[in-house]
Structure formats: structure tokens, C-alpha cells
Structure 1
Amino acid sequence: MSSSESFISHLIELRKRLMNAGIALLLVFICLFPWASDLYALLAQPLLAKLPKGGQMIATDVTTPFFVPLKVALMASFLIALPYILYQVWRFVAPGLYEHEKRMIVPLIFASTVLFFCGMSFAYFVVFPVVFGFVTAAAPIGVAVMTDIDKYLSFVLSMFMAFGITFQVPVAVVLLVRMGVVSVAKLREIRPYIIVGAFVIGAIFTPPDVVSQLMLALPLWLLYEAGIVVASWTRPVEKPVQLGSRF
């Protein structure tokens, strides 16, 4: 097969996998659409539970009450369809991987997905009640706390991303050790810098209170330590030498 034919076949395969992933996402979204408002109410519950009696959220734009729940339904659809989407990614890249890479990437994808969901759950069930309790309690006397639903969604998504990515630290540590990029001894040596960096990240991606900053920095540090422990059980992979194209 010529290089041009090989390139076209890869494009056809990529289109097939993207279509499969898109159809799965669309089907889940259609099923969730009737409950879009309920999904937003569930997402807003951590803040609503901390608002003073009679407090409520507001919508400042004309179309916001419609599009914000729609975004939440789309986000939930993506999370539900994520395992199948990752499976489509795997089917596309698998033919170009070495055997040792195939054995490594499946557990890594599984662990990354589970840890990302764990990070989001930690933010929703642990961090949000503390942060929103602090924010609402800090409001001056006579100031009514009424958050715009679109801004609330943006804040929640940024926190989900921050904690979801933070919980990927063990996977990143293990992957770096397996690839031979860094040794376990070196990871232990740079531990003080990681701790400082964790608190800097906590200060950047959380509201300006010590509690919420600690709630991001401490898990980041502990997950780094967990990654070192798991990585110490592994050893770098010996890469086979092969000539020619991998496809």
C-alpha cells in the first residue's frame, strides 16, 4: 500500500471512529434532554444548600434559562458516553502501537477515567460545600447572595477540570517512570518542589480562602506520593527496535 493510500485509509478510519463517538454522545444527550433542568438543579444543590433562607439564583440574560441547563445535559452526556468514546480512540490508535504499549495503555486509560470521575466527585461532595459555605458566610450584612446561573456553571466546570486533572497525577507519575523519563529516586528527591507547586496551584485555581486551597493542594501532594508508591512497583519498559513505519 502506498503512503497516500495509507493516509486516506487512516482518514477513513478516523472519520468512522469520530462518527461512532458523535452518535453515542447524541443518543445520550437526546435521552437526558427532557431532564436538563433537573440536572442543573442537582448541579446547583451545593450552593443552594448554603444560601440564606429565601436566597436564590438568577439569570441575567434572556436565553440563559434555556441554554445553561442544555450545557449541563451535554456535559453529563459526554461523561456518560466517555467510556465508549475512549474505546473508539483506542480502536483507532491500537494498530499503530507496540505490544508492550497496548498492555500499558489500557490500564492507564481506565485509571485516568476513574480518577477523573473521583476528582469531580471530590469537588462536588467535599470541596463545594466548604467553598460555598465560606463565600455565603463572608457576604457583608445587607448583601443578598444571588449568583447568575451561567457564571455558576463556569465556576463549577473550572473546578471540575482542576480537580479532575489533579487526580491524574498518579497516572502521570507512573507513566513517566514506565517510559524511563524519570526515576523513582528522582521523584522522591524533588518532593519539596512538588509540595510548594501544589500549594501554588491550589492558590491559583481555588477561591481566595485557605481551606479551599488546602483541599486542592493536599490531594495533589498525596496523589503524587501514591504515584511514587505505585511507580516503585514497576520498571521502565524496554522498547523494541523496529525499522520502518509502525502503520
Structure 2
Amino acid sequence: MALFNRTAVEGKEEMTFIDHLEELRGHIIRSVIAILVAAVFIFIYRNWIFDNIIVGPINKNFISYKVLCDFSHWAHMGEALCMPPVEVTMQSTTFGGQFLSSITMAFVGGIIIAFPFIFWEFWRFVKPALKEKELNNTKFVIFWVSFFFFSGAAFGYFLLGPFTFNFLAGFQLGTENMIVTRPTFADYLDNLTNIILGCGLAFELPVLAYILTKIGLITPKFLRDTRKYAIIIILIVAAFITPSPDWMSQLIVFTPLWILYELSILVSARVAKKNKEQENEEWD
């Protein structure tokens, strides 16, 4: 495999399996150090980060609530996008709950902040195994992977998060109001982490489409043929998480996800075209 013949590509003596493990260990150690440095920084300023970032999606003064409400009025939609404040009091059920949650908060934040460096280390490990043509097709890969990840994280934090927490906090089972929602901070942090990291990874769909098309697992035709199913799934997700049955609020959540899928089709088509051109050159 090319991955285990890295230095041979560079005209040097081929590395052994142990050499590859040593090389990989170095990349992993540097990535862990980057995460720890960012995590320590977050832990030191944990109180400010908690007050201004972590609880943002459930804070009545969160910028997303104001922007969405102003947009709703500007678009003559009335109060369709004006979400009521999330009235919930979080709790910690163990003595060490807040401390452990602060550790989790710092570690997850460290991963998010260090993501470009982590991927850069991964890319340094894989890059020597690629051929010159493959390298030419992967220019700015670190930028694009990081761009899509942070775009997805921002989408989850500023848009999907407020919608989700507003819906879940306001959901009531039964008609007698016998159940009061009192989540722990750990539960809130887990949900926020899943939303941010989930959206960050979901926004890597164009990158994934590029890779899968490059190795021949999917084609632009497959993505086009499954478009209608993808749209239905995205619509269901948007309808489920939006607080209002109004179609415009669902459209705001649906649009970025749909654009992402269409972008993946374009990326796949471009890669498929280049693959065909390379095959024709090899046969000539």
C-alpha cells in the first residue's frame, strides 16, 4: 500500500512498519499537546467562557435570538422566528459535577480550537504517500477542511443550538404540567457538544464527496438520484427542530443543509471529470 511506502515515493529507503508507527506516534503526540494547550487556556478562563460562550444558546440575550427576531419582522413574518427565552435552571447532582464538567468543557473546546492543527498533522502523515497528481488535486485541503468544520460548528452553535434547546426546553409531556425540566449542566454540555461537533463533521460532506468520488465509491449520478431522499430527510430534520410550524423558520434551517448537499454534487462531478481525463491520458 502507498501509505506504507511513504519514503519510497521520495526516493529514499522504504520505511518499515515500526518506522511508520513511530512517525504516527509523533503526529499524535503533537496533536495531543495542541489540544492540551488549548484546553489549559480554556480552563484558566472557564468562568468567562461559561458565561459568554457555553450558555449562549440558552441565554435570552444571545445574539441569534435578536437577529432571527429582527429578520422575522423585516420579512413581515410577525413573531414566527422570535423564540421565547429558554427558562431552565441547570443543576449539578454530584460534588465533583461542576469540576468534571469544566474539564470536559476545556477538553472539547481544545479539540475544536486545535482542529486545523490536528488535521495538519494527519495530512503530514498521509501526504508522502500521495503521487504528484494527487497532491496537485489536494491544494488548500487544510484550509477547506477547516473552513467547512468551523462553518458547521458556527451553524450548530448560532442557529441549530438555539432552535434545539428552545424546542426541548419547551416540550411538555402531558397536559397537567406535572413534569419540570431540570437538566444537569453535564447533560446540557453533552447536547451542545453533539450539536457543534456533529454539525462541524456534517459540513465536511463536500470533502467526503471528494474523497469517495476520487476512490470510486460514489458518482455524481448517485448523488443526483438520491437528491429527493436527501431533501426529504433534511426537511424532516428542519421541521422537527424549529420552534414554529411556519415554513420560513424551517426554511432557514433547511437551506444551509440543502446547499451543502448541492455543493457535494458539484464537487463530485468535478472530481469525476478529472478522473475521466486522467484515465484518457493513461490510455493515450
**TM-score over 0.5 for the alignment?**
yes
Matched, 1:236 2:274: yes
Native 8 Å contact 2:234 2:258 kept in 1: yes
Question: In the alignment, is residue 47 of structure 1 matched against residue 58 of structure 2?
Answer: yes
Output the CA distance in 1 between the equivalents of 2:58 and 2:24.
Answer: 41
1:198 has 2:234 as partner: yes
In structure 1, what is the equivalent of residue 43 of structure 2? 33
Shift, 1:151, TM fit: 0.5
2:183 aligns to what SS in structure 1?
coil
- The equivalent of 2:121 in structure 1 is 88
Q: Aligned partners of 2:269 and 2:124: how far apart in 1? A: 30
**Amino acid across the alignment from 2:26:** K
Q: Distance in 2 between matches of 1:80 and 1:221?
A: 27
Identical columns (%):
27
The Cα of 1:124 is off from its aligned counterpart by 1.2
Correspondence 1:73 to 2:84: no
Change (3 A) 1:64 1:207: farther
Between 75-84 and 166-175, report the one with greater CA deviation.
Answer: 166-175
What one-letter code is carried by the residue in structure 2 that aligns with 1:155? N
Partner residue, 2:212: 176
Q: Tell me which amino acid in the other structure corresponds to 1:173.
A: A
Structure 1 length as normaliser, TM-score? Answer: 0.78
Q: What TM-score, normalized to structure 2?
A: 0.69
CA deviations over 1:127-176 (Å, ceiling 9, x no partner): 22223333344447586543210111111122223322321222223333
- Distance (whole Å) between structure 2 residues aligned to residue 113 and residue 70 of structure 1: 24
Q: Shift in Å at residue 8 of structure 1?
A: 1.9
Two-structure CA RMSD over aligned residues (Å): 3.3
Q: Deviations over 1:199-243 (max 9, x none)?
A: 46x38xx659676987665533321112223444442333799xx
Distance change in 2, residues 1:103/1:87 (3 Å): same
- Pick closer, same or farther for the CA change 1:145–1:38 going to 2, 3 Å: farther
- In structure 1, list runs of 5 or more residues that go unmatched: 242-247
Within the candidate set 159, 176, 185, 1:126 is matched to: 159
Output the CA distance in 2 between the equivalents of 1:19 and 1:137.
44
Tell me if structure 1 keeps the 8 A contact 2:167–2:241: no
Aligned length: 236
